Amino acid sequence: MTATQANTGQHRQPVHPGTPPAHPVLRFWRSAVGKKWIMAVTGIMLLGFVFAHMVGNLKIYLGAGPLNTYAEWLRNLGEPALPRTVLLWIMRIGLIGAFFLHIVSAAQLTRMNQRARPSKYQSPRDYAAASFASRTMRWTGVIVGLYLIFHLMDLTWGNANPRYVRGDTYENVIHSFKRVPVAIVYILANIALAIHIFHGAWSMFQSLGLNNPKWNRARRTFAMGFATLIGVVNISFPLMVVTGVVK
Amino acid sequence: MKLDSHVPEGPIADKWDNHKFDVKLVNPANKRKFHVLVVGSGLAGASAAATLGELGYQVTMLTFHDSPRRAHSIAAQGGINAAKNYRNDGDSVQRLFYDTVKGGDFRAREANVYRLAQVSVNIIDQCVAQGVPFAREYGGLLDNRSFGGAQVSRTFYARGQTGQQLLLGAYQALARQVHLGNVDLHTRTEMLDLVVKDGRACGVVARHLITGQVKSFAGHAVVLATGGYGNVFYLSTNAMASNVTAAWRAHKRGALMANPCFTQIHPTCIPASDDFQSKLTLMSESLRNDGRIWVPESGTDTRSPDQIPESERDYYLERRYPTFGNLVPRDVASRASKREVDEGRGVGPIKNGVYLDFGEAINRLGRHTMEERYDNLFQMYERITGDDPYKVPMRIYPAVHYTMGGLWVDYNLMSNVAGLYVLGEANFSDHGANRLGASALMQGLADGYFVLPATINDYLAPLLGSPAVGTDDPAFKAAESNVADQTNRMLSVKGTKSVDHFHRELGKIMWNDCGMARSAETLDNALSAIPALRDEFWTDVKILGDGESFNQSLEKAGRVADFLEFGELLVRDARDREESCGGHFRVEHQTEDGEALRDDDNFAYAAAWEWKGVGEQPEVHKEPLTFDNVHLAQRSYK
Amino acid sequence: MDLTLRVWRQAGPDSPGRFETYAMPGVSEDMSFLELFDVLNEQLLADNEEPVAFDHDCREGICGSCAMMIDGRAHGPEKGTATCQLHLRKLKNGSVITVEPWRSAGFPIIKDLAVDRSAFDRIVESGGFITAPTGAARDANEILVPKEASDAAMDAAACIGCGACVAACPNSAAQLFTAAKYSHLSLLPQGQPERYTRVVAMVEEMEKYFGSCTNHGECEQACPKEISIDFIAMLNRDFVKAQFKNTRLSGQRA
Ligand SMILES: Cc1cc2nc3c(=O)[nH]c(=O)nc-3n(C[C@H](O)[C@H](O)[C@H](O)COP(=O)(O)OP(=O)(O)OC[C@H]3O[C@@H](n4cnc5c(N)ncnc54)[C@H](O)[C@@H]3O)c2cc1C
Ligand code: HEM
Ligand code: HEM
Ligand code: SF4
Ligand code: F3S
Ligand code: FES
């Protein structure tokens, strides 16, 4: 926006310039509404994963046997139709793709929003609706992302876990969480995740256009419930280990 | 000068159809060769520009607003009339025509009014097609309500925001034409002069309100749709920026100003509360459908309204006008309120209002129905006054609202200056001495969608092949320097008083001496007070800043300067018209029971004034009005 | 009552701006917020200081001209109320009130509190209309519109184009305005033929000037017409649907 346009009060130059690409898919991807739809769809995949992962992890409370059996079961999933670990890899690739699209969209939209308000308000804002969760999505997202890398190094690749033993999932978890700083990282990250989900699991309905006045209240309840469930259960693992309840 | 109204021959019902057949046409391919300037983006201007653009003309639209959608038409609340007879209650084109002529107290041109009634039907169709969300019934059909001055329900409405929705419809049609490149839109651009060459209007000179740049626009024809001049009274229900400037500058270039003294006072406005009050807010007339107007019988009654028993309330409209009751026309209702307040029975802290009470309707219809009908108005009232009308009656008082007078136009809506068309509230045409509720929106849209697009070709067709006068023509240069001069002159006064001060002072003169009731004495008083105030303005106005930037005081100063000249003409017209009719009430001319007393023998004409210079006596030209289809009769709403 | 105003003053689009503090003693609580500025401007004029520039016109909450960020809230603290309709009785006696212009790249500052909102017009021009050339309309009652649908369309159509939604949105998104304009037309039977081209055109134009919606819901709170973010969901859904729609088949269902 140049000064001349503001001078004449005839805004004709876009703040976000460029011509839309011809191909409909690219055009959809270029638009913020499109990206938000993709974020919502990938968000649902991520929510599904986090939920399933949480349910699986609950086996920690049943002891080493069941958890390890479950981990092994995952690797065998899809057999005999597919060779061992193939379905797991397909799911992993889907998950990686979802994370990738989710994060790239988030980054691009953040850039767009920054350009849309180059000079900030010079006095404090008084928000009436925008919640702490909605205003910190970027940060809670980044925290979850960084946590994820650490988490993989810790429990999947083992390079952040000196006592890592491939295949012995239960012991890996216990040894990891016994370290107080690691437990704290897990707790904080899962709080961030719960906050992220608190807004995200409501917001995705809006982004997808799933709106019906008859059901709108239920969306909030769902998001609240989902966030609480994931938060409480996930935090319980490191908490139980670090306090010695689970050994 | 002879005023020729160009009313077509033939029976009144056939005039418009015959005329449409008789006018010259411009063939579709040639329309692009004509350039039309439209000033003003209210209902009249936006609908005209959109329609001309659709037809293929090249249109340039100017408005001083930052967006066409902000034009003052946006504020109209109550509704728009149309002779659809969807209620099967005896409505017809003939009846709408009759009601409008009678409501206008027999000072309108019959042929125009008949056409208006005919076209009203098409307006509703057009607006619905554009997506105007008029109120509906459960079966999906359009709903109607009734309005003052009519005994049928013919008013279409969109909650309390009818004007907004109609304007958005026209604005959207206009936006489409802008997108297609048929209309070139210039916002924040104020027309400050009309350019006339060889007797033809050929362009305007405008100032860009942000850059201060003075720029000329040329066209084959100029259309003014610049709204009414109610703000000459300072306090009115008009938007703050509504003004007479465009019309007045055209007047100074030769266009005649007709019937300026016909101003309408609206009975249901929120009374002023203090000196800082910048405008008055209208409470829609539709409220009179369900609200009952009363004052305590005794002027010394200090009880709160709910403590006053029925027997000590005076429902004075129902008492005096049993047939129409609370729905008498505006001028009648306004004067009745004035009478109560003048006689000391006013209510409120400064006893300057009367009650408009919904208690009975709420009991009868339930709160829910009332919310459906009026909630936004009730909320608006509560915001302004702090009182809740669901619990306490509203306090209302009349305020200036609409101006029937305006630039003189013929049947084609062309002024006496060739090529200068005037639409909407800016012209004088269809409402005579008093406008009925819900008829201004109808007229603005009739003019813009249907009348002008059908008549302008008659003027343009013979001009085919002759290019528009260029903006480098001396006539344009002269107008440009005229505009620049005035700006500099105002800036160079460097006096001590603000522009608003002069506006407020003018308003006081106008309201006190030429308001709801006028007499020779008060008018003579105004005729000496206004020129004095004008002189003071030109020696003592204080405007800071310069002319090359966004300077709102400077903008306003130009408008007030024009009001200071125009106000004088308004008063002079009121002085000249030795009768009472419609909104013009001369205390010398009233019936025994205090109603307006017309003098049809001497004043059945439109007074069209010709400019002769500042402070000079203008010359009046008279267009006689004949009534062949509606019998001249004393209005009675008893 | 006594108030103190801190007002953003900025001479032009590119000039630096700053807050100026003005004492406003003894003002009436029946005044509107804009009348307070009228009084301030009279005061400034007397002191040979340039009056504060601000847009306003109808002063009854319908034209959408007025636009002030009042103590961090677009249009101030009262819900469902435009700046011009905010009366001083809603403010605390003795308080210091900070007033800023709308801030958004899509709304460049013109001067002081006045901003250029013409980007909204560009959005409407891109598709916010129903193509219905004058004279071609059929009888109004031939189109039946269920009352609920008509009421919903009216809820959306009530938008006054003030820009508070953009101003309030942490992302400077114009989703509520665009959704309101879009939904008004697309909820009605008359708006169906152009529905999917309209949504794509309006969204693409909107995104040229404004940020993206991440569903903060702040816009709805600031909106003087209390327009619901339900309409944003409708806009989003139709935009996505438009990608999958084979519009050649759109004549198949009545
Ligand atoms: C509060 C209120 C409620 C009303 N309610 C009703 C109702 O319920 N029913 C009804 O029928 N009528 C109603 N009316 C009357 C009706 O709204 C107006 O008469 C009508 O809208 C006028 O339309 P218009 O197009 O002639 O002018 P306006 O809408 O006033 O438009 C004038 C346009 O001209 C432009 N303009 C003016 N001067 C210049 C210039 N010098 N240079 C550039 N541009 C210029 C302005 O920017 C504006 O766009 C109401 C009026 C008021 C005040
Ligand atoms: C398991 C991990 C995650 C889950 C379950 C998740 C879930 C969601 C969901 C459901 C949404 C709402 C989408 C919408 O409204 O359309 C969302 C939005 C968002 N996510 Fe995530 N997300 C995860 C990880 C991340 C990561 C790693 C980042 C960034 C680095 C991130 C950044 C964002 C941002 C910025 C938003 C935008 C807020 C919004 O649009 O409402 N998320 N997330
Ligand atoms: C405290 C809570 C959590 C615990 C106890 C936990 C535990 C584990 C364990 C034990 C594994 C290794 C499984 C194996 O190798 O067989 C694992 C893998 C993984 N976890 Fe977690 N996890 C938790 C939270 C999360 C969260 C919140 C996320 C997402 C953001 C996440 C994402 C992953 C991923 C992506 C893998 C790799 C899966 C794969 O290899 O296919 N975990 N987790
Ligand atoms: S949606 Fe509300 S806040 Fe936004 S422009 Fe419209 S009226 Fe203003
Ligand atoms: S506040 Fe902004 S993020 Fe969306 S819901 Fe409203 S536009
Ligand atoms: S001045 Fe018109 S909405 Fe506030």
- Ligand 3 in contact with A71 (CB < 6 A)? yes
Distance C159 CA to ligand 4 centre (A): 5
Q: CATH: 1.20.58.100, 3.40.50.720, 3.40.1190.20, 3.30.360.10. Which one for B478-601?
A: 1.20.58.100
Q: CATH: 3.30.499.10, 3.40.50.300, 3.40.309.10, 3.90.700.10. Which one for B266-401?
A: 3.90.700.10
Phi-psi region of A17 (alpha: psi -120 to 50; beta: other; left: phi over 0): beta
pLDDT of residue A2: 43
Best of C169, C225, C234 for a ligand 4 pocket test (most atoms within 8 Å of beta carbon): C225
Q: Which of residues 192-251 of C touch B (CB under 8 A)?
A: none
CA pair distance B70, B42, nearest whole angstrom: 8
Q: Over 90: is that where the pLDDT of A79 sits?
A: no
Is A26 a domain residue? Answer: no
Kindly state whether A175 is in contact with chain C, defined as any CB-CB distance less than 8 angstroms.
Answer: no
Can you tell me which atom of ligand 4 is nearest the CA of C163? 5
Taking CA atoms, B401 is separated from B238, B555, B637, C34, in Å, by: 6, 23, 22, 21
Q: Over 60: is that where the pLDDT of B141 sits?
A: yes
- Ligand 5 in contact with C173 (CB < 6 A)? yes
How do strand B257-258 and strand B605-610 relate by DSSP bridges? antiparallel
Is residue B455 packed enough to be buried (19+ CB in 10 Å), middle (13-18) or exposed (0-12)?
buried
| Cβ neighbours of A140 (radius 10 Å) | 22
Kindly state whether A4 is in contact with chain B, defined as any CB-CB distance less than 8 angstroms.
Answer: no
Kindly state whether C54 is in contact with chain A, defined as any CB-CB distance less than 8 angstroms.
Answer: no
Q: Which of residues 208-237 of B touch A (CB under 8 A)?
A: 208-211
pLDDT of residue C66: 98
pLDDT of residue A20: 79
Q: Over 50: is that where the pLDDT of B32 sits?
A: yes
Type of residue found at A140: T
Chain C residue numbers touching A31 (CB-CB < 8 A): 203-204, 207, 239
Chain A residue numbers touching B188 (CB-CB < 8 A): 8-9
Q: With pLDDT > 90 as the criterion, what percentage of chain B qualifies? A: 85
How does the average pLDDT of chain B come out, rounded?
94
In CATH, what number is assigned to the domain containing residue A122? 1.20.1300
Count of residues for chain B?
Answer: 638
pTM above 0.90, yes or no: yes
- Ligand 2 in contact with A34 (CB < 6 A)? no
Q: What is the DSSP letter of A168?
A: -
Task: For CATH 1.20.58.100, list the domain ranges present in chain B.
Answer: 478-601
pLDDT of B218-272, one tens digit each? 999 999 999 999 999 999 999 999 999 999 999 999 999 999 999 999 999 999 8
- Closest Cα in chain A, distance from residue B209 (Å): 8
Q: How many Å is the Cα radius of gyration of chain C? A: 21
CA pair distance C20, B448, nearest whole angstrom: 46
Taking CA atoms, A193 is separated from A207, B37, C47, C232, in Å, by: 19, 60, 57, 26
Q: What's the average model confidence in pLDDT over B493-504?
A: 97
Mutation choice for C interface testing from A15, A131, A214 by most C CBs within 10 A: A15
Give the number of whichever ligand sits closest to the CA of residue B436: 1
Q: Is the peptide bond before A80 cis (omega within 30 degrees of 0)?
A: yes
Residue B168 contacts residue B48 (beta carbons within 8 Å): no
B349-358, B488-497, B616-625, C125-134: least confidently modelled range: B349-358
CA pair distance B515, B338, nearest whole angstrom: 11
CA pair distance C46, B306, nearest whole angstrom: 46
Domain that holds residue A176: 33-242
In three-state secondary structure terms, A20 is coil
pLDDT of C170-223, one tens digit each? 999 999 999 999 999 999 999 999 999 999 999 999 999 999 999 999 999 999
ipTM of the complex in this document: 0.95
pLDDT of residue B272: 86
Q: What's the average model confidence in pLDDT over B169-176?
A: 98
Is A191 a domain residue? Answer: yes
B51-55, B119-123, B321-325, B372-376: least confidently modelled range: B372-376
Q: Over 50: is that where the pLDDT of A52 sits?
A: yes
Q: What's the average model confidence in pLDDT over B435-456?
A: 97
A10 falls in which pLDDT band (50, 70, 90)?
Answer: low
- Closest Cα in chain A, distance from residue C141 (Å): 29
Q: What's the average model confidence in pLDDT over A208-222?
A: 94
CA pair distance B321, B373, nearest whole angstrom: 25
Q: What's the average model confidence in pLDDT over B531-555?
A: 96
Q: With pLDDT > 70 as the criterion, what percentage of chain A qualifies? A: 95
B284 falls in which pLDDT band (50, 70, 90)?
Answer: confident
CA pair distance B443, B227, nearest whole angstrom: 12
pLDDT of residue B299: 85
Q: Is the dihedral of CA B312, B317, B321, B325 positive or negative?
A: negative
Q: Which H helix or E strand runs over A18?
A: none
Is A25 a domain residue? Answer: no
Chain C residue numbers touching A105 (CB-CB < 8 A): none
CB burial of A151-175 (b: ≥16 within 10 Å; e: otherwise) equals: beebbeebebbeebeeebbbebbbb
Q: Do C45 and B138 touch (CB under 8 A)?
A: no
Give me the total of CB pairs closer than 8 Å, taking one residue from chain A and one from chain C. Answer: 182
A7 falls in which pLDDT band (50, 70, 90)?
Answer: low
pLDDT of residue B579: 97
For residue B337, give the nearest of B381, B295, B290 by alpha carbon.
B295
Residue in A with minimal Cα distance to B208? A8
Is A95 a domain residue? Answer: yes
Q: Over 60: is that where the pLDDT of B599 sits?
A: yes
Q: How many Å is the Cα radius of gyration of chain A? A: 22
Q: Over 90: is that where the pLDDT of B456 sits?
A: yes
Q: Over 60: is that where the pLDDT of A1 sits?
A: no
Q: Over 90: is that where the pLDDT of B273 sits?
A: no
Distance C242 CA to ligand 6 centre (A): 35
Phi-psi region of A220 (alpha: psi -120 to 50; beta: other; left: phi over 0): alpha
DSSP chain C: --EEEEEEEESSTTS-EEEEEEEETT--TTSBHHHHHHHHHHHHHHTT-PPPP---SSSSSSS-----EETTEET-SSTT--GGG-BGGGS-TT-EEEEE----TTS-EEETTEE--THHHHHHHHH-S----TT----GGGS---HHHHHHHHHHHT-----HHHHH-TT-B-HHHHHHHHHHHHTSGGGSTTHHHHHHHHHHHHHHHSB------HHHHH-TT---THHHHHHHHHHHHHHH--GGGTTS--
| Cβ neighbours of A54 (radius 10 Å) | 18
| Cross-chain CB nearest to B276 (options C35, C130, C190) | C35
**Residues in contact with B248: Cβ distance below 8 Å, sequence separation at least 6, in sequence order:** B257, B562, B565, B566
Distance B159 CA to ligand 1 centre (A): 19
Is residue B597 packed enough to be buried (19+ CB in 10 Å), middle (13-18) or exposed (0-12)?
middle
Q: What's the average model confidence in pLDDT over B371-391?
A: 89
Is A13 a domain residue? Answer: no
Q: With pLDDT > 90 as the criterion, what percentage of chain A qualifies? A: 78
Q: Which H helix or E strand runs over A238?
A: helix A216-242
**Tokens encoding C190:** 């008359």
pLDDT of residue C253: 64
Supply the residues of B annotated as catalytic. 330
pLDDT of residue B47: 98
Rounded to 5°, angle at Cα A244 from A243 and A247: 145
Type of residue found at B218: A
CA dihedral A202, C80, C234, B177 (to 10 degrees): -150
- Ligand 6 in contact with C62 (CB < 6 A)? yes
pLDDT of residue A3: 45
pLDDT of C31-75, one tens digit each? 999 999 999 999 999 999 999 999 999 999 999 999 999 999 999
Q: What's the average model confidence in pLDDT over B464-491?
A: 95
Q: Over 80: is that where the pLDDT of B593 sits?
A: no
CA pair distance B75, B415, nearest whole angstrom: 27
pLDDT of C67-101, one tens digit each? 999 999 999 999 999 999 999 999 999 999 999 99
Distance A151 CA to ligand 3 centre (A): 7
Q: How many domains does chain A have?
A: 1
CA pair distance A72, A60, nearest whole angstrom: 14
Q: Over 80: is that where the pLDDT of B524 sits?
A: yes
CA pair distance B444, B450, nearest whole angstrom: 10
* Domains present along chain C, CATH in parentheses: 3-110 (3.10.20.30), 118-249 (1.10.1060.10)
**Residues in contact with B118: Cβ distance below 8 Å, sequence separation at least 6, in sequence order:** B16, B83, B93
